[in-house]
Amino acid sequence: MADQTQIAAIPAPDAKREARAIAFGVAGWLVPGLGHALQRMWGRALTFFAVVGVLVFVGAGMRGNLFNSDGGDAFAALGYLADLGTGSFYWLAKYIEVGGPDVSHAYGDYGTRFLAAAGVLNLLAALHAYEAARGRKA
Protein backbone atom coordinates (compact mmCIF):
# COMPACT_ATOMS: atom_id res chain seq x y z
CA MET A 1 0.00 0.00 0.00
CA ALA A 2 2.77 2.37 0.96
CA ASP A 3 4.69 1.43 -2.21
CA GLN A 4 1.66 2.24 -4.36
CA THR A 5 1.40 5.68 -2.78
CA GLN A 6 5.07 6.36 -3.48
CA ILE A 7 4.79 5.25 -7.12
CA ALA A 8 1.77 7.50 -7.62
CA ALA A 9 3.71 10.47 -6.19
CA ILE A 10 6.43 10.26 -8.88
CA PRO A 11 5.48 12.63 -11.69
CA ALA A 12 4.91 11.04 -15.09
CA PRO A 13 7.45 11.92 -17.77
CA ASP A 14 6.34 15.10 -19.46
CA ALA A 15 6.69 14.79 -23.23
CA LYS A 16 6.51 18.54 -23.71
CA ARG A 17 9.28 19.14 -21.20
CA GLU A 18 11.42 16.45 -22.79
CA ALA A 19 10.96 17.99 -26.25
CA ARG A 20 11.88 21.39 -24.82
CA ALA A 21 14.99 19.95 -23.21
CA ILE A 22 16.06 18.37 -26.51
CA ALA A 23 15.48 21.70 -28.27
CA PHE A 24 17.68 23.48 -25.70
CA GLY A 25 20.39 20.85 -26.14
CA VAL A 26 20.35 21.19 -29.92
CA ALA A 27 20.33 25.00 -29.64
CA GLY A 28 23.33 24.80 -27.31
CA TRP A 29 25.16 22.63 -29.79
CA LEU A 30 24.38 24.89 -32.78
CA VAL A 31 25.35 28.13 -31.03
CA PRO A 32 27.58 27.65 -27.97
CA GLY A 33 25.81 28.96 -24.87
CA LEU A 34 22.38 29.35 -26.50
CA GLY A 35 20.95 26.35 -24.64
CA HIS A 36 21.76 28.04 -21.35
CA ALA A 37 20.73 31.51 -22.54
CA LEU A 38 17.25 30.21 -23.36
CA GLN A 39 17.02 29.05 -19.74
CA ARG A 40 18.25 32.42 -18.48
CA MET A 41 21.54 31.01 -17.21
CA TRP A 42 23.40 34.05 -18.43
CA GLY A 43 26.75 33.41 -16.75
CA ARG A 44 27.08 29.94 -18.20
CA ALA A 45 25.78 31.07 -21.58
CA LEU A 46 28.34 33.86 -21.91
CA THR A 47 31.14 31.67 -20.58
CA PHE A 48 30.54 28.80 -23.00
CA PHE A 49 30.13 31.17 -25.92
CA ALA A 50 33.40 32.93 -25.04
CA VAL A 51 35.42 29.81 -24.20
CA VAL A 52 34.37 27.85 -27.28
CA GLY A 53 34.77 30.98 -29.41
CA VAL A 54 38.29 31.68 -28.16
CA LEU A 55 39.37 28.05 -28.61
CA VAL A 56 37.99 27.94 -32.18
CA PHE A 57 39.39 31.36 -33.07
CA VAL A 58 42.88 30.61 -31.75
CA GLY A 59 42.84 27.01 -33.05
CA ALA A 60 41.97 28.17 -36.55
CA GLY A 61 44.47 31.02 -36.24
CA MET A 62 47.18 28.50 -35.39
CA ARG A 63 46.21 26.67 -38.60
CA GLY A 64 44.95 23.56 -36.86
CA ASN A 65 43.53 20.69 -38.87
CA LEU A 66 39.78 21.07 -39.34
CA PHE A 67 38.63 17.59 -40.34
CA ASN A 68 36.18 16.90 -43.16
CA SER A 69 33.68 14.08 -43.61
CA ASP A 70 35.94 12.35 -46.14
CA GLY A 71 38.83 11.77 -43.73
CA GLY A 72 39.37 8.12 -44.64
CA ASP A 73 40.34 6.56 -41.31
CA ALA A 74 38.91 6.22 -37.81
CA PHE A 75 41.03 9.02 -36.33
CA ALA A 76 39.91 11.46 -39.00
CA ALA A 77 36.28 10.42 -38.43
CA LEU A 78 36.63 10.99 -34.68
CA GLY A 79 38.35 14.31 -35.35
CA TYR A 80 35.48 15.30 -37.63
CA LEU A 81 32.95 14.43 -34.93
CA ALA A 82 34.88 16.45 -32.36
CA ASP A 83 35.14 19.43 -34.72
CA LEU A 84 31.44 19.20 -35.54
CA GLY A 85 30.79 19.56 -31.81
CA THR A 86 31.43 23.28 -32.16
CA GLY A 87 28.17 23.57 -34.15
CA SER A 88 28.00 26.71 -36.25
CA PHE A 89 31.52 27.64 -35.17
CA TYR A 90 32.79 24.83 -37.42
CA TRP A 91 32.00 26.98 -40.43
CA LEU A 92 33.36 30.04 -38.68
CA ALA A 93 36.66 28.20 -38.27
CA LYS A 94 36.63 27.27 -41.95
CA TYR A 95 36.07 30.92 -42.77
CA ILE A 96 38.96 32.07 -40.54
CA GLU A 97 41.37 29.40 -41.74
CA VAL A 98 41.70 30.66 -45.29
CA GLY A 99 45.25 29.32 -45.71
CA GLY A 100 44.22 25.78 -44.78
CA PRO A 101 45.76 23.65 -42.03
CA ASP A 102 49.50 23.47 -41.49
CA VAL A 103 50.45 20.72 -39.06
CA SER A 104 54.09 20.65 -40.18
CA HIS A 105 54.74 23.03 -37.26
CA ALA A 106 54.01 22.42 -33.60
CA TYR A 107 51.53 25.30 -33.38
CA GLY A 108 49.43 23.76 -36.17
CA ASP A 109 49.21 20.55 -34.16
CA TYR A 110 48.23 22.56 -31.07
CA GLY A 111 45.58 24.29 -33.15
CA THR A 112 44.10 20.89 -34.04
CA ARG A 113 43.79 20.09 -30.32
CA PHE A 114 42.25 23.50 -29.61
CA LEU A 115 39.56 22.90 -32.24
CA ALA A 116 38.81 19.36 -31.03
CA ALA A 117 38.70 20.48 -27.39
CA ALA A 118 36.30 23.32 -28.30
CA GLY A 119 33.97 20.79 -29.94
CA VAL A 120 34.00 18.31 -27.08
CA LEU A 121 33.55 21.11 -24.55
CA ASN A 122 30.56 22.46 -26.46
CA LEU A 123 28.99 18.99 -26.57
CA LEU A 124 29.45 18.80 -22.81
CA ALA A 125 27.82 22.22 -22.40
CA ALA A 126 24.92 21.23 -24.68
CA LEU A 127 24.40 18.06 -22.64
CA HIS A 128 24.41 20.17 -19.48
CA ALA A 129 21.77 22.48 -20.97
CA TYR A 130 19.65 19.44 -21.84
CA GLU A 131 19.97 17.99 -18.35
CA ALA A 132 19.25 21.37 -16.73
CA ALA A 133 16.08 21.70 -18.80
CA ARG A 134 14.99 18.27 -17.61
CA GLY A 135 15.53 19.40 -14.02
CA ARG A 136 18.39 17.07 -13.28
CA LYS A 137 21.08 19.74 -12.97
CA ALA A 138 21.12 23.41 -12.19
Partner 1 sequence: MRFDLSHLQAMLLFALMISIAFGFLSRRRPMDRVKYTVWSLLLFLLFGIGIGWAMYPFSR
Q: Which residues contribute to the site for partner 1 (CB under 8 A)?
A: 43-44, 47-48, 51, 54-55, 57-58, 60-63, 96, 99, 106-107, 110-111, 113-114, 117, 121, 124-125, 128, 138
Select 27 or 41, whichever has its Cβ closest to partner 1: 41
Per-residue 3-state assignment (H helix, E strand, C coil) for the chain: CHHHHHHHHCCCCCHHHHHHHHHHHHHHHHCCCHHHHCCCCHHHHHHHHHHHHHHHHHHHHCCCCCCCCCCCCHHHHHHHHHHHCCCCHHHHHHHHCCCCCCCCCHHHHHHHHHHHHHHHHHHHHHHHHHHHHHCCCC
Select 71 or 109, whichever has its Cβ closest to partner 1: 109
Select 30 or 110, whichever has its Cβ closest to partner 1: 110
Min CB(125)–partner 1 separation in Å: 7
